[in-house]
Structure 1
Amino acid sequence: MHKQSLCLRLLLAAPAIFGAFAAHAAGQQDSTIKAPADKPAAPIQKVEIKGAAASYDARRNDTATKIVVSQEDILRNGDTTIGEVLKRLPGVTVGGVQGRGGDIRMRGLGSGYTSILLNGEPAPAGFSLDSLSPDMIERIEIMRAATAEYSTQAIAGAINIVLKRAIVTAQREIKAGFQEEHGHYGTNINYQLADKKGPLSYAIGGAVTYAKFERPSEVVTERYDPAGPLNTLRRADERSSGHFEAFNVSPRVNWTLGPGDVITSQSFININRFTGDNSEHVNTLVGSAPPYSATRVLIKSDSELVRSDLSWTRKLAEGAKLDAKAGVNYNHRDTRAPSFNYNEKDELLIERLITSGVVDKGFTASGKYSTPIFEGHALAAGWDGAYNKRNEDRIQRESSTKVKADNLDQVFEANVRRLALFAQDEWTVTPRWSVYFGLRWEGIETRSEGDGYAAIDNKSSVWSPLFQTLWKIPGSKSDQLRLGLTRTYKAPAVNNLIPRRFASNNNSEISPDFQGNPALRPELAWGLDLAYEHYLEGGGLLTASTYVRRIEDAIHNKTDPVPVNGKYISMPVNDGIANTHGIELEAKLPVRSMWKTAPNIDFRANVSRNWSRLESVAGPNNRIDSQTPFSGTVGADWKLDKLPLTLGSSYSFQNGGPVRIAKYQYAYSVPKRSLDMYGLWKFNPKNQLRVSVANALHQQNVQQSIFDDSEQGRRSETTITPTYVVVRALMEMKF
């Protein structure tokens, strides 16, 4: 703000102070400007002009609860994927093996309970967050309670990834990176090019990535008789190796037609090439060998994703504004996977070739009109629609002289139509109290047909009334309370509706085939959110929040203990009521805001505790969606005063433990710990080197699936996966 104040003072003083400008430019900004000797010095009033974007704190002042993560925070640790960024944010966890990505979870819930949005719209089919370079992102918004403007398919909450749009100044930037993991190397190059000429501005950003990998694991299979003795023990050595290349580019163009009248074109193109070699060798120590004691699968997969939208923003009279957007998306993937299955004597039993192709294409359109109806009221209404068509084929060819070969042709088609209408009003009742009312109707229609089943139609619609309020406590400048009441839902995923069979290599109760269920209904939820926020000087804060959700027609995968045609099948089903609740604590503490002479260190920490219960499954540990019960992150950033060096680290923890999925099904996972560190050295304002170490603890990951009934005994499959330290170096250069 000092520069803006200085510019205004210079304009007011005009020619009399021009000679002092050089002193200011040289860094002597505290020098005093004196009037000519023959006139008395006139005091110059100091006026500070603060832009709305710079002074407005959306997290603190918006009635609807929202956590905004800036680009600086996104890039701080030198992460190469969005999942690595999200795992440190309050209330967010990432499933899967440490450092390898997985489903994004809020309140410990994934599988569609957490909504992932791209520029405010549901992410297109086939889209992966890992295809986005962090450099492309302007900000990340975490919305714990739903709003009418965005999809209410957000029982746990929503994460909105906002790509860069505004272009302020010319930019030329290249980031060249190198990484090492377990003796395998990779490179990535990020680039940003932007400029502004008159009413037109443009930017092109993107990344090129190449990496090799080798990931071993061990799978232990145990079976016990109902009376207790061990009758089967197998140890399988698995190894996955390969390499992948990725290229993405995001061009955008802004055209200013007039004051408040802007047309923006934004596109995203991603091309991936993947080659993998997966092998498994089973060593049977007790009992009989499985049908296939060794398997090798060679995978080659090519995919392309294109998304493009055109938006128009126009400011109207009396503070009204119109936003309209239309977009198209296309996703294509071809996979070729020859496999070879052997018996315990290493004799080739069957050779199989599976080729598959998937094409997703569709378009979206949305519009919003907002206007202040009278003082203190901001009314908005709009619509949001989408159509997506998916074509998929899977061709299986087998050859064998020892077992029966099975050729299979599967062709599927699915169409998804979505339409939503919404209205919302934000009312500032008093300077300290504001309320938000929203109402959204959203309907989804799915139609699928394919080989082996007739056309299936599935329709669902939900009315979602929403209420949020913000109360700034009287007598305090830093304390406030939030309350939210929401109606949200979760529609069944298209793949869960299609009765297509996904075969397991060695079918069993603990490794069943999977088949969709066209009779699935959407899950409906009522929610309550409550939060207390205390803001500190210098950007610090302390918050405590709690939430409750009651979910009707909860969906979970269920394996019947009786095989169908000799095969065990897992199928998603609606299964009664589920309840979940939890608490979240967050702290940001800039040390210098409390102690002026302290080192320039910023501490941050967050802790989440979640509980849930699926009423149709007997407890204990009958958590929905294998919910993460406890998670937390603690970190610090230290900017040295005498060196152009910034150091930082963060430690994340996710609890695991036992889960009862159904009457006979259980799962177990060990707690996951992750330590990341980074250092940033600024050579000059345009060049800096960022070195980071990810997954420094390289903890072993353990997952277990269990099937236990009194008639057949206990069967379990335990997967043990080592993880490795990832070292990265990133040179960042501006031109």
Structure 2
Amino acid sequence: MSRLLLALAPLCAWTLSAAQTPASPAPTTPATPPKSADAPAPAAAAPATDKTGNKLDRVEVSSGPTANSRRRNSTASKIVIEREDLEKYGDVVLGDVLRRLPGVTLGGGRPGRGGDIRMRGMGGGATQILIDEERPPPGFAVEDLPPDQIERIEIYRAPTAATGTRAIAGTINIVLREPLQKSNHEVRMGVGWDRNKPQVDASWTRNLKWGGPNGDEFVGAISTNGAVRRFFNNVDSGNRITDTETGEVTEQNTQIGTSENQNTSLNGNARLRWKYSDTLSFNLSPSFFLSQNEGSSQYNSEGTRFRDVHGENDAKNHNLRLNLSADYRPQVGESFSLRLGTGTSKNTRNSERRDTTTIGGVTTERLQQDHNSVEEDQTSLNGRWSLKTAQEHQWVTGAELERSQRTQLVDTLVNGAVLPGLVRFGNTLVSRNERFAAYTQDEWSPSKQWSLYAGLRYERIETTAEATGNLPEARNVSQVTSPLLHLLWKPEAFPKDQVRLSLTRSYRTPNLQQLVARPTINATYPDGPNYQTHADRAGNPDLKPELATGVDFSVEHWLPTGGIISGSAFVRDIKGTFRNDVMLETVSWDTVQRWVSRPRNLGNARRMGFEFEFKARMDELWEDAPAELQMMLLRFNFALFKNKVEGIPGNSPRLDQQPRGTLNFGIDHRWKAWGQNFGSGFNLNYVPAVREQVTEYLRNDETARRQLDAYLSWSSGSVRDGINWRLSMANLTARDAESRSEGISTNSVTQRQYLTESWSRNKTFRVISLRADMRF
């Protein structure tokens, strides 16, 4: 009897797996992925053998949608990151999780400290970031969202009608924590060191469930996270000006010193659901994000302009948000949802700079004080209808309304007095933003081999700024209609392969600062002639959105137990591309012409690239792998990017700060020693050097980035009440990062040409952290 059961076990397991996976799976709507309550990872069954001793195929049994199933069943190309991947390296900033994926890079910041998130190297708003399928509230830096509060991350390489088309590079949808399934509490604590500066953080998640005959009338989860982090940075920068005719160095400044800052943050969110009936439920999602940053800097300047510079700065960010929604399901396959959201934010920044200024042989003390305060209120209303028919169609239609009002107060004082050139612009700017969008989409699976997605989205955005001082009233309106088509083919002869094709139209809109910005005067050359590398900054109310026609093509090969080999190519033809362009202007804030950086529509551009991804367990690659190596996971991905920008000569005309590519290689392994189960792994991230031809006469260079991360995890105590430990090490091979700029400037007074050079060298540091988490 026991032999019969052993022989039937693989068949039973296969039958169970087949019962949970329909023969013709309906594709999940990209914009409305199925929710998962902390779905467990697939259980890996040990390799079975029949009575002849032959090794049988491994069977994976899952009790819910996994990252692989979400990815495979989506008609639109996407990548899904589950909780396990979010926790693996013990990252405390979201950007460090994402940069290990193909084509994702971080802009700004130093390794181990995050930065703004960019897909395919495109920054400046080309990547759309959503939280629970909604754009984040104003003033909220989504890259600072703690990974502890995230359930999963969905990355769409091409836009969809429901998620929005302001996504030339792609869309990142962050799904916040779902209620815990098997425990009431989850507590996490961490302590770390960044160049011997302490880093401390803690988080707590509470599961809520009560009422009704099944105890699930009210379900929810509350999560909070607090952190205190201190950082040290070096100051090492300078600039040199050379007369191109005589070769004489007319001016050279170097700044050498240090800076330190401390960031304190407290974040929280809740997801509460009331099941009113079998067809109607209500959801309440409040959230808050609070942070405070204080810092100081001290450096000496050698040259003719400044010396003994001391700076102080502080910033406070407060963000409150409340979402209310109702979901009505009158019948199987049909649903209506209505969501109302409201929020308010306030960001204040103060800085003070004291320096000794030398002009014409006369030395004076100079004190500059800057105050910037932004308050913004936002309200949104979204409605959606979804219908899944018996003919394998899934329709989704919806509309979105959003309105926000922003008040910005800016004050700049030099030695207690307002700069004469800025008085005429006033110090208060009030602006309003109104957005309307309507969309419809249909996914259709006419056969097991084919899935087709067709969508259409219309969006209108109007931005208005009230007249203040010498700034006239500004009004900017953009309207874009975006047709979208996604195709998924599963060849019958190759059941483990998938081919995807997407034809889309997407766009990028300028933000408020790019449209209407009170001029910012360069602090190094605050009056008189300045240079291209030290330009003033201002807005451009006539800026138009970029329009991109995109083609995405990818091939996926799935390995037996979830591994993947994938290649993806894309092209974006962009019309009206805008970027900061530096030009010599007659300005109202000075008596001489000055170089000013403004965003401008420069013409057309083409962005192309190829992304490759490989992920597999050792037993998928090596049939007779030793037992201790079978669960070793190998990861490798790389991306290559190429640009062509009209109107910019040279061999390196790039869109703003865009790298030539990325590369990641890593290994994750689970092993047993001293009676304990251990996990360990490493990841090597490489971004090659960047040379960017900004204008005909201005060029920027950045050195390559190399970052090596590693982790070690283990558990102590019982399975249920034990503590999971994780030792994380980021940026182990710390290398300095350097950036340089070179430009040809014309002195507006003497009309002589000068070669202007500026540079900065930023030290990077190893970041070590120890984290513990427990569920009970």
Query: Contact 2:103 / 2:661 at 8 angstroms: preserved in 1?
Result: no
Q: Does 1:452 align with 2:477?
A: no
Alignment of 1:2-401 (within 5 A): 51=63, 53=65, 57-96=69-108, 97-197=110-210, 198=215, 199-227=217-245, 229-231=247-249, 232-284=251-303, 289-290=304-305, 292-343=306-357, 348-399=364-415
Alignment correspondent of 2:607: 580
Matching residue's letter, 2:78: K
Secondary structure of 1:698's aligned partner: coil
For residue 704 of structure 2, the aligned residue among 671, 679, 690 is 671
Distance 1:407 1:444, change over 3 A: closer
Shift of 1:407: 6.7
Alignment correspondent of 2:634: 603
Distance 1:613 1:230, change over 3 A: farther
Q: Does 1:618 align with 2:649?
A: yes
Secondary structure of 2:97's aligned partner: helix
Higher alpha-carbon deviation: 489-498 or 91-100: 91-100
Secondary structure of 1:645's aligned partner: strand
TM-score by length of 2: 0.85
Structure 1, unaligned stretches of length 5 or more? 10-28, 31-46
Alignment correspondent of 1:36: none
Matching residue's letter, 1:315: R
In structure 2, what is the Cα distance between the partners aligned to 1:624 and 1:50?
Answer: 44
Alignment correspondent of 1:551: 574
In structure 2, what is the Cα distance between the partners aligned to 1:157 and 1:404?
Answer: 44
1:627-672 deviation digits (Å, cap 9, x = unpaired): 1111111111110044311001101011123110111111000010
Matching residue's letter, 2:435: R
Distance 1:357 1:404, change over 3 A: closer
In structure 2, what is the Cα distance between the partners aligned to 1:179 and 1:56?
Answer: 33
Distance 1:441 1:406, change over 3 A: closer
In structure 1, what is the Cα distance between the partners aligned to 2:725 and 2:385?
Answer: 45
Secondary structure of 2:453's aligned partner: strand
Alignment of 1:428-439 (within 5 A): 428-439=445-456
In structure 2, what is the Cα distance between the partners aligned to 1:552 and 1:533?
Answer: 31
Higher alpha-carbon deviation: 373-382 or 405-414: 405-414
Matching residue's letter, 2:295: G
Higher alpha-carbon deviation: 626-635 or 570-579: 626-635
In structure 2, what is the Cα distance between the partners aligned to 1:702 and 1:456?
Answer: 39
Secondary structure of 1:85's aligned partner: helix
Shift of 1:230: 4.5
Query: Contact 1:170 / 1:195 at 8 angstroms: preserved in 2?
Result: no
Q: RMSD between aligned alpha carbons?
A: 2.5
TM-score by length of 1: 0.90
Query: Contact 1:504 / 1:511 at 8 angstroms: preserved in 2?
Result: yes
Query: Contact 2:554 / 2:569 at 8 angstroms: preserved in 1?
Result: yes
Alignment correspondent of 2:678: 645
1:340-370 deviation digits (Å, cap 9, x = unpaired): 1212599652223322211111011111111
Alignment correspondent of 2:740: 704
Matching residue's letter, 2:656: D
Q: Does 1:484 align with 2:502?
A: yes
Shift of 1:237: 1.3
In structure 1, what is the Cα distance between the partners aligned to 2:688 and 2:187?
Answer: 39
Shift of 1:713: 3.0
Query: Contact 2:179 / 2:208 at 8 angstroms: preserved in 1?
Result: no
Shift of 1:120: 0.8
Q: Does 1:629 align with 2:660?
A: yes
Structure 2, unaligned stretches of length 5 or more? 1-8, 17-44, 47-58, 526-530, 747-751
Matching residue's letter, 1:584: E
1:112-135 deviation digits (Å, cap 9, x = unpaired): 111111111122211112431111
Distance 1:454 1:66, change over 3 A: same
Distance 1:376 1:259, change over 3 A: same
In structure 1, what is the Cα distance between the partners aligned to 2:738 and 2:103?
Answer: 23
Distance 1:50 1:692, change over 3 A: closer
Question: How many residues end up aligned between the 2 structures?
Answer: 690
In structure 2, what is the Cα distance between the partners aligned to 1:551 and 1:463?
Answer: 15
Secondary structure of 1:340's aligned partner: strand
Secondary structure of 1:539's aligned partner: coil
Query: Contact 1:398 / 1:405 at 8 angstroms: preserved in 2?
Result: no
Identity %: 27
Secondary structure of 2:75's aligned partner: coil
Query: Contact 2:245 / 2:753 at 8 angstroms: preserved in 1?
Result: no
Alignment of 1:460-539 (within 5 A): 460-507=478-525, 508-539=531-562
Matching residue's letter, 2:70: A
Query: Contact 1:98 / 1:701 at 8 angstroms: preserved in 2?
Result: no
Higher alpha-carbon deviation: 358-367 or 705-714: 705-714
Alignment correspondent of 1:657: 690
Q: Does 1:569 align with 2:610?
A: no
Shift of 1:716: 1.1
